[in-house]
Amino acid sequence: MKIVIATSNKGKIKEFSEFFGNKVIAYSDIIEPFEIEEDGDSFASNALIKARAIYDKLGSNSIVIADDSGITVPALNNEPNIFSARYAGVGASDKENLKKLISELGKANIKKTPAYYTAAIALVCEQGEFVVHGWMHGDVIDEIKGDGGFGYDPMFIPEGHEQTLGELPKETKNDFSHRTKALRLITPIIEMVKATKVKDKMLK
């Protein structure tokens, strides 16, 4: 049974697939993609909103996971945080959001400052709802370096490194990223849910 990922973000789909291999499928490969209003006040609540929306469409036999994530810059009053995807306005592209963060650093006269990524991963299935978190700390800089990764990666230097995630190989990010840490936590829950489903079927 494949796990359905409730996201339209290509960067996330790529990283989920690198982590799980062919055990996952994007929801847009099964049903017509649709708009989900992310009006929660935390990463966890928005991840749950997305996972529930797809689970409701697919039915009780499915196992759905969603990711809500973003970058937080303490020196900029903790912006953009849960608004990372719409920092430059609703419907803004990754590039526009990245440039907006660079321009906010410029306005504050900051060349380099601590920042961190958060990922909340929600799992929704017949057996219940689960949410886990992962974080990655480092610095943001006031320029774009490299073109690897996605989103804010070309301006983010992870702790212990000299280069941005846009310059470092994807394997480096996948080793310790916020998303990978959260996915490592959700993996045993997925296994438990799958095993419970098999057991329930045998008892029927």
- What's the closest the beta carbon of residue 106 comes to ligand ITT, in angstroms? 19
Q: Does 42 bind ligand ITT (CB under 6 A)?
A: no
Which residue lies nearer to ligand ITT by CB, 145 or 197?
A: 145
- Using rule CB under 6 A, residue 174 touches ligand ITT: no
d(C-alpha 24, C-alpha 100), whole Å: 33
Q: Which of 134, 138, 151, 158 binds ligand ITT (CB under 6 A)?
A: 151
Rounded Cα distance, 152 and 57, in Å: 31
Smallest gap from residue 191 Cβ to ligand ITT (A):
23
**Binding to ligand ITT by residue 180, rule CB under 6 A?**
no
Q: In whole angstroms, how close is the CB of 36 to ligand ITT at the nearest point? A: 7
Tokens (6 digits) for 50:
């997305």
Judged by CB under 6 A, the stretch of 51-59, 67-75, 126-134, 188-196 that binds ligand ITT is: 67-75
**Coil vs helix vs strand at 189:** helix
Q: Which of 67, 68, 139, 153 is catalytic?
A: 68
Q: Which two tokens stand for residue 135?
A: 């974080």
68 carries an active-site annotation: yes
| Contact by Cβ (8 Å): 144, 98 | yes
- When asked if residue 55 is in the footprint of ligand ITT (CB under 6 A), the reply is no
Segment 1 to 40, residues that bind ligand ITT, using CB under 6 A: 7-9, 12, 38
| Residue at shortest CB range from ligand ITT | 151
Can you tell me the distance from the alpha carbon of 66 to that of 68, in angstroms, rounded to the nearest whole number?
A: 7
State the Cα–Cα distance between residues 153 and 135, nearest whole angstrom. 14
Give the count of residues interacting with ligand ITT (CB under 6 A).
23
166 counts as binding ligand ITT under rule CB under 6 A:
no
Structure tokens at 68: 């809500």
51 touches 6 (CB < 8 A)? yes
Specify whether the CB–CB gap between 78 and 154 falls below 8 A: no
The catalytic site residues sit at 68
